[in-house]
């Protein structure tokens, strides 16, 4: 579990699994299916905008700490 630091989203690596055949996620299919991965990334992005997920923050711990400190005042 990650509990400190920031982790820039532009350095994230997307993975792709067929959960019907590989529920343990042991076989990453992203390299073998780049078109499918891109289609799913696009769908994720569209749904994120539609459901007000953006903006994303990669510094969640500092944001929580700031909100916590604000609540103490």
| Interval 38-65: pLDDT, tens | 999 999 999 999 988 887 777 777 767 7
34 pLDDT more than 80: yes
Tell me the pLDDT band of 69, cut-offs 50, 70 and 90: confident
Bond prior to 55 in cis (omega within 30° of 0) = yes
Q: What is the mean pLDDT of the chain?
A: 85
What confidence score (pLDDT) does residue 71 get?
72
Helix/strand/coil (H/E/C) assignment for every residue in the chain: CCCCCCCCHHHCCCCCCCCCCCCCCCCCCCCCCHHHHHHHHHHHHHHHHHCCCCCCCCCHHHHHHHHHHHHHC
Residue 52: what pLDDT? Answer: 83
Least-confidence region, from 3-7, 27-31, 36-40:
3-7
């Amino acid at each position: 579990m990650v509990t400190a630091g920031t982790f820039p989203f532009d350095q994230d690596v997307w993975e792709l699994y067929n959960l019907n055949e590989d529920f343990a996620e042991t076989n990453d299919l992203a390299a073998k299916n780049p078109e499918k991965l891109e289609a799913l990334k696009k769908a994720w992005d569209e749904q994120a905008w539609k459901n007000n997920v953006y903006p994303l923050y990669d510094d969640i711990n500092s944001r929580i700490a700031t909100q916590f400190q604000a609540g103490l005042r």
